[in-house]
Structure 1
């Protein structure tokens, strides 16, 4: 985990636990902050990135990353009735799942032991982790569904470069011409490419990212709505209110009341 992290994706499942550090993460079209104790499960081919912005109490930023095969749920072992809740959870992870837990001591210990384990000991640790995860009641799906067609997979590196551009520039302003230049395309060609590969227009994607940032800030901070408007990439409060309500079904102020 570093301050120059890059958006990437891979075939394996990934469980990401933040042992120390503070920063921003992107999962699909979702951008939000992370801190110590953050626990996220990612499905295969889901673009993601953890960017360190600060340390906590002078500690070195650190995360424990666990990968396991995308074919695990197709194995005969995972067809056992006792593992069906695990299979259901893994199927949900194609959008990314953040687990909200008050005490992460047990999970941290298991993951730490797994980081130095091999063979059967590692697999036993993985089953212990699954057993802990299915017991966590409070969890949040992060991204909107990602297009996992073969067409998308063949161009995933190009699409990830676009996601990274949005990730780095969402607050100061995202421009179509600059995004197109990332792939050395003319804007019109870029728009056709992005829509074909992701199933949504570039500006639809940007709007979802902005609304996602705003929703997170409204739910978890006491920042004024005007400040959240600008931090999520809008420069006009009326437009912010309009797009937020269109996507979330509520005005920003009404949405915040849910969490108060």
Structure 2
């Protein structure tokens, strides 16, 4: 799977753009400066947001902040059914705009700030918000803006929200060296179970391991191995919450070969042991 930096084109004289798009089985992990609200109209598969890997299905609703790597992969048996999503992009500068400084929009601004980690909204009945989002794909001007404010209003009413990704400081990643960082991220995702090696990662960028470590730390605010540990723990947390697999098996499937290390790093990052984390979902 390719990992790319994407620039979203928002037409002149518009602050937002909504589109109903097909979900493709070979979509790449990508990032862009804009905020994104992604609603799954139909289909299911695997979602990657930052260091979080989760499943998605019809009705999945996620708000992404700027510069957050993400991807929706469709299950192969869903491809003939034309899985579809409704995607809304709006400028990363919206939070600092004069309009959004109104007291009435303080909670919206706070919501957008929280989206830097990716927010999943667990909506019990998504019929109203899906109707508005579909309508927005056909509107322009003030009518479009009014409907978007309705969407924000509905999102604020959803109390059950899930932060998808650990805070990894993506805001400092996007620079002239972005492609190099993306290449490293892709290597980690592809090899997380088989084994991630510093020497292999540094070779991708034609750097000595010591130079690579300094480069990665400067651009992500994490050491390379800290990032790898966060990805592994994210995978483990997903398996603990959604499967009945033994903790020992999850330890190995998330890339650890030592149960003691797995328990230590899981608690260090998540704040609880793997067993207690699982109990919170029972």
User: TM-score scaled to structure 2, two decimals?
Assistant: 0.84
Q: 1:78 maps to which residue? A: 100
1:27 has 2:29 as partner: no
Structure 2 Cα separation of the partners of residues 222 and 62 of structure 1: 30
Q: 2:229 maps to which residue? A: 207
Range with bigger deviation, 84-93 or 31-40: 31-40
Structure 1 position 58, deviation (Å): 5.8
Distance 1:96 1:36, change over 3 A: same
Structure 1 position 30, deviation (Å): 2.2
Which SS does the other structure have where 1:154 is aligned? coil
Structure 2 Cα separation of the partners of residues 169 and 257 of structure 1: 29
**Paired residues of 2:172 and 2:219 also in contact (CA < 8 A):** no
**Paired residues of 1:7 and 1:161 also in contact (CA < 8 A):** no
Structure 2 Cα separation of the partners of residues 219 and 168 of structure 1: 22
Q: 1:66 aligns with which of 70, 88, 92?
A: 88
Which SS does the other structure have where 2:146 is aligned? helix
Structure 2 Cα separation of the partners of residues 148 and 57 of structure 1: 32
Structure 1 position 108, deviation (Å): 1.4
Q: 2:32 maps to which residue? A: 10
1:41 has 2:57 as partner: no
Which digits, 9 at most, give the CA deviation of each residue in 1:198-249, with x for residues without a partner? 1111111011111111112212222222332232222333332232223223
Structure 1 Cα separation of the partners of residues 224 and 150 of structure 2: 41
Q: 1:165 aligns with which of 162, 170, 187?
A: 187
**Paired residues of 1:38 and 1:98 also in contact (CA < 8 A):** yes
Which SS does the other structure have where 1:256 is aligned? helix
Counterparts of 1:86-97 in structure 2, within 5 Å, are: 86-97=108-119
Q: 1:227 maps to which residue? A: 249
Structure 2 Cα separation of the partners of residues 140 and 240 of structure 1: 23
Distance 1:221 1:181, change over 3 A: same
Q: 1:129 maps to which residue? A: 151
Q: 1:178 maps to which residue? A: 200
**Paired residues of 2:229 and 2:265 also in contact (CA < 8 A):** yes
Count of aligned positions: 260
**Paired residues of 1:25 and 1:49 also in contact (CA < 8 A):** yes
Q: 2:139 aligns with which of 112, 117, 142?
A: 117
**Paired residues of 2:183 and 2:204 also in contact (CA < 8 A):** yes
Range with bigger deviation, 118-127 or 141-150: 141-150
Structure 2 segments unaligned to the other structure (5+ residues)? 1-22
1:192 has 2:214 as partner: yes
Structure 2 Cα separation of the partners of residues 245 and 44 of structure 1: 28
Over aligned residue pairs, what C-alpha RMSD do you find?
2.1
